[in-house]
Amino acid sequence: MNSYKIAAIPGDGIGKEVIAAGVEVLHALAARDGSFRLDVETFDWGSDYYKAHGVMMPENGRETLKGFDAIYFGAVGAPDVPDHVTLWGLRLAICQPFDQYANVRPTRILPGIEGPLRNVAARDLDWVIVRENSEGEYAGQGGRSHRGLPEEVATEVSIFTRAGVTRIMRYAFRLAQSRPRKLLTVVTKSNAQRHGMVMWDEIAAEVARDFPDVTWDKMLVDAMTMRMTLKPQSLDTIVATNLHADILSDLAAALAGSLGIAPTANLNPERNFPSMFEPIHGSAFDITGKGIANPVGTFWTATMMLEHLGEKPAAERLMRAIERATADPSLHTPDLGGQATTRQVTDAVIAAIHGDNA
């Protein structure tokens, strides 16, 4: 029997609530299938850990994580710790050294969910955003000089490397090729950003030659927001830089009905390091502790983790269970306009897993 070691890092705020729900669902799935085992270890890293120890995770944290098959991550961010500390101390401290360069964000309007766009049916919006996750605007290059003086300067330098851009383009073209429409949109801003983004466009064209069956086009990021809103059916697979895709993926999540639903995989496709799976939403301190966080994003994230581990039937079973739950408006949490609790949605998904005989 296949057995997988999962490191759960709930992190902050509702991260703790949704990861607890996700782990329950994963155990139910393993019990239902009987063909694989999950060995889940939970780590209390995050802002509370930071307040007690001065660091977001222990020094040997990454060494510890190397022994796991996958990381199941909640959210980071606390009202009383600066956001750049929490982000760089935990999420980016894992993503970047583990070379999880492909951040993959599927977006669909799930059954029973109403998106905000008029005249857009569920079938009109079925996208996967591929976010470059190792460099670009999040490279961490820059600095500040003459602090506090009128002549203070700060630089925030984007880094684009031929190796980094080529590998994310290849990943995106391959993914587009594997989807029925074989359609890729390369997001850029090469009209204004005339160095890195121009190289980005050139490399896209080079890589495209190896994928003659993929139809692709190029879209400036500002115009892309309009196309996503006005012609969602014209898009399928999308590739964009770290920051552009960060912004577009929030838009995508909103257009699909709620940020509470959207999943992410941070993949190291070569499997030299464990990959990390997390809902897109943040720690949401405004609703923490109320038991009303939407666990669907975390469940959908679990399907991506199972797929990465090679447990496709279990991933599909979980997706069917999620869709049964979203189809029932009485199981909608407040972010979807309903009154359901995290507990109720979790119980319904577990019941659907056990009742699913497909």
Q: Which residues bind ligand IPM (CB under 6 A)?
A: 87, 246, 280, 282
- Closer by beta carbon to ligand IPM, 208 or else 251: 251
- Residues with catalytic roles: 138, 189, 222, 246, 250
- Closer by beta carbon to Mg ion, 281 or else 317: 281
Strand order in the sheet with 275-279: 36-42, 2-11, 70-75, 275-279, 263-267, 102-108, 126-132, 237-240, 183-188, 215-220
Q: Shortest Cβ distance from residue 133 to ligand IPM (Å)?
A: 8
Residues 6+ apart with CB under 8 A from 255: 107, 115, 116, 117, 120, 125, 228, 229, 232
- Closer by beta carbon to Mg ion, 297 or else 338: 297
Count of Cβ atoms closer than 10 Å to residue 209 Cβ = 8
- Closer by beta carbon to ligand IPM, 83 or else 210: 83
Catalog residues that contact Mg ion under the rule CB under 5 A: 246
Count of Cβ atoms closer than 10 Å to residue 60 Cβ = 8
Beta-strand relationship, 126-132 and 36-42 = unpaired
- Closer by beta carbon to Mg ion, 201 or else 250: 250
Q: Shortest Cβ distance from residue 270 to ligand IPM (Å)?
A: 22
Residues 6+ apart with CB under 8 A from 297: 18, 259, 260, 261, 262, 263, 279, 280, 281
Q: Shortest Cβ distance from residue 313 to ligand IPM (Å)?
A: 29
Element housing 78 (H / E)? none
Handedness of CA 236, 242, 247, 250 (dihedral sign): positive
| Encoded tokens for 68 | 């796991």
- Closer by beta carbon to Mg ion, 28 or else 265: 265
Residues facing 4 on adjacent strands: 38
Q: Shortest Cβ distance from residue 254 to Mg ion (Å)?
A: 12
Residues 6+ apart with CB under 8 A from 186: 169, 172, 200, 201, 204, 216, 217, 218, 219, 239, 240
Among 69, 8, 72, 73, residue whose Cα is nearest residue 42: 8
| Encoded tokens for 42 | 């939970």
Q: Shortest Cβ distance from residue 128 to ligand IPM (Å)?
A: 15
Q: Shortest Cβ distance from residue 252 to ligand IPM (Å)?
A: 11
